[in-house]
Amino acid sequence: MVAKTIQLCYIIIIKILIIYTILTLLNRVMINLNFLGAAMMTKGKTINGLMKHIRDKHGISIDGSRQKRELMQMGYYHGYKRYRYVKKKHNKLNLSDFSEIKAIYDFDIKLKGLFYRPVIDFEILVNNYCIDVLSANKDTDFESAMNNLLTNHNRYTSGSKNYNNAYKNLLFLKNKIHGKIASAYKNSENPIAHFVNTSRNIPIWALFETLSLGDTANFIKALDVSLRTKMMKNIGIYDPIHDPSGDRITNHIYIIKDIRNSIAHDIPVFDCGFITAKIDQKISSNLENETSVKNLKFSFIIDYMVLLIYYFKKLKTAKSVLRKYINDLENMIKELEVNINDKSSFFKIVGSDVYNKINLVKTYISK
């Protein structure tokens, strides 16, 4: 009797194990099927699939081998989708044909080519004018300059909010500069490595070889007021009445830094969606008064050209060079207008007063 009971228990246990094994296998099969289904659902689209998606979901006409090649060239996610809106995704442009997307893409590429040279020249002149002012002092090595010339915080009352913010920014700047020097030292071809290895002080000009345009702006912002204003006088932009401490130049550099970085990293510039600098009303008003060009909010690409031309005109750049900049920009804008069917979308990109600004810039150049 006992033997039969034990035998029955074994049979029950075996059946339970068989059922458990079957259920486990079925569960694994269901997991694999679900995974396969999800993989099939998330499978990427081919170029033909993307073109169909654009037609069906976005209502934009696109067809043929030429437009297929153009879509392949610009890309879908960081190209086509980005050129459908201005600054923010919700601010869609009213476009109906892929040729309009291509026109905006071409406009953006040409803008980067046009702005590259003046932006680089701006960066070079800012560095050189700063180095020139610093070189006139006895503290011409970077350690002495860091300790004795970066004293902008002293213009504020010790312990005040402005003082604390300025000093905090100075400490951050010093830390970043030391990091830049450490990185530069790793490269034996860098001048900094040469000076360190020969136990010589690093000259200020070698330091500027490692700084980005944003770093340069922070350095100038931390400079003693007398040095910063002297630099601005040398350039011809100092305004002792409205900007006695010379704060304006760093704001200008921050503005140009944004478009410079976008060009360097191939980020769209056509709608000025790159802007991170805080645009103070005083900055806009001063530039408007200087150039007689109104409504300079740096929301449109023409405003950046106005700022660059303002600097180059102060530095006596040939008028023919400045005219070419503005004429080339005008031609690009006119070409875009021809290829955008909806005028409201065109003005969303370049501004409704763009041609008026262009004419006022031409007048400013001629003075």
Q: What is the pLDDT of residues 289-318, one digit of tens each?
A: 999 999 999 999 999 999 999 999 999 999
Does residue 41 fall inside a structural domain?
no
Does residue 37 fall inside a structural domain?
no
Q: Which of 19-33, 72-86, 129-143 has the highest mean pLDDT?
A: 72-86
Rounded to whole angstroms, how far apart are CA atoms 228 and 248? Answer: 10
SS3 of 97, please? strand
Burial of 145 (0-12, 13-18, 19+ CB in 10 A): buried
Does residue 265 fall inside a structural domain?
yes
Does residue 114 fall inside a structural domain?
yes
SS3 of 277, please? coil
Does residue 137 fall inside a structural domain?
yes
Amino acid 54: pLDDT: 86
Q: How confident is the model at residue 18 (pLDDT cuts 50, 70, 90)?
A: low
Rounded to whole angstroms, how far apart are CA atoms 171 and 173? Answer: 5
Of 69, 76, 15, 21, the C-alpha closest to 45 is 76
Of 260, 240, 244, the C-alpha closest to 308 is 260
How confident is the model over 199-230, as pLDDT tens digits? 788 888 888 888 899 999 999 999 999 999 99
Residue 94 backbone phi and psi in degrees, to 5: -85, 85
Q: What is the pTM of this model?
A: 0.84
Give kind and range of the element (H or E) at residue 366.
Answer: helix 354-366
Residue 123 · residue 257 · CB < 8 Å: no
The range of the structural domain enclosing residue 245 comes to 98-366
Amino acid 139: pLDDT: 65
Rounded to whole angstroms, how far apart are CA atoms 84 and 58? Answer: 10
Of 252, 248, 277, 250, the C-alpha closest to 262 is 277
Does residue 57 fall inside a structural domain?
no
Does residue 296 fall inside a structural domain?
yes
Burial of 119 (0-12, 13-18, 19+ CB in 10 A): buried
Does residue 92 fall inside a structural domain?
no
Kindly report the average pLDDT of the chain as a whole number: 86
Two tokens, residue 77? 């996610």
- Name the domain count of the chain: 1
